[in-house]
Every structure is written in C-alpha cells, then in structure tokens.
Copies of this chain bind each other. A is one copy, B any other.
Amino acid sequence: MCAAAAEFDEVGYAGASLSSIAARLGRTKGAMSYHFSSKASLAREVVVTQYRQWEVVLERLRDDGHSGLDATVMLSFIVAGRFRDDVLVRAGIRLQHDAGLHDGDLPTPFLGWMRIVGTLLTESEPPVALPPGLDAQSAAEVLVEAFTGLQQVAHRLSRARDIDARVEHYWLLVLPAFGVEDAQHRVERLRAASAAY
C-alpha cells in the first residue's frame, strides 16, 4: 500500500504504473497483480484507507467535548500535519483531485468533507455564530474549498513544509466572520491542542 502511495504521490495517477510499484517492492508485476488487478484498484485502496482514519479522529474530537468550530480548527491542523508527513494521506488526497481518475468507483471528492464540517458547525455546542448571508452548509463548502487550495499551494511551493503557518493564516482570515474576537489567541491554543491527536 505504501509503495503504491509513494508512487502515486511522486508521479501522479497518470504517471504511475503497476510495474514501477512492483519494482519499489522488489517484486515482479506478475507477482503483484495477484493481489491487485489494476492501477485503478490500487488507487481506490489508497483513497479508501486514507478516508477511514478520519472517522477515528472525529470520534476522539467529539468525545473530548470540543465545540464544533474548535473541532473544525483542530481537524484542519491534524489533516495538514498528516498531509505533510504521511505519504498515504498525501497520495489519497491528491489522487482524488487527479483529473484522470474518474472511474466512478471512488467517492466524489470534497463532498464527504463538506458534510463533516457542515455537521460540526450545525451541531456545535455552544452554537456557532454564522456570517450574515451564509448557512452552515455554505460556510462548510467555502471552508473545504479554501483548505483544498491551501493544501495544493503548500504542496506545490514547499512540499507542504510550511503548511502549518498557512493553516494559521487561513483561520486568522476566516474566524472573524464567525464572531471570534481574539482569533490569534484561539488559533494558537487549538493548534497546540491538535498536536495530541
């Protein structure tokens, strides 16, 4: 799985091949095809595995009693850190954005995250103050769009080494719309708290 993730991460879906993934493992393509019949099925496996871990993180955030907005901020730092450090997460996220991979068997990207963030904002206790003109779902969509671009830019410009600072700036620009007065202090605190996850 990690060999496939590394291959997809480095050369993208279109550039990846079963034989070079096999070569990373010191095996022949024939031996590997026994387990994975196609590049598409390997890609699917990487994407689905990447998704599963977020359910665990979300459950912990809920159990620890964070408000919906705080949980969203923490989640963004957690995802950013793994995107930077974990090739499986990076490959999973980038594969989903890859224009060449429209085989219908993968979940449509973005929608799952929009649902998750929308639910966090809707069910938050205490309730989240929404910006005038936006409901929780529209706000969640913008947050996911912006975070998607942030990941892409960070990856392209610094291989995501500076992603934490970018996430911090993103929240400084966005939190005032949710009525947060001392955004700097709040972001500092949540960034530190997210390190435990």
**A interface residue numbers (CB < 8 A to B):** 11-12, 14-15, 94, 97-100, 108-111, 131-134, 138-139, 141-154, 156-157, 166, 169-170, 172-177, 183-184
Contacts and interface: CB of A to CB of B under 8 A. Distances in A.
B166 A12 contact: no
A166 B142 contact: yes
A184 B152 contact: no
A134 B148 CA distance: 20
Given A99-B94, A100-B15, A133 B170 contact: no
A130 B164 CA distance: 20
Contacts of A139: 169, 173
Contacts of A176: 131, 176-177
Contacts of A154: 145
B142 A152 contact: no
A149 B14 CA distance: 21
Given A146-B145, A170-B142, A132 B94 contact: no
A20 to B, nearest CB: 15
B177 A173 contact: yes
Given A169-B138, A174-B177, A153 B183 contact: no
Given A172-B133, A172-B177, A145 B153 contact: yes
A172 B183 CA distance: 17
B14 A131 contact: no
A127 B117 CA distance: 34
B149 A183 contact: no
A11 B99 CA distance: 8
Contacts of A11: 100
B100 A157 contact: no
B148 A153 contact: yes
Contacts of A173: 131, 134, 139, 142-143, 174, 177
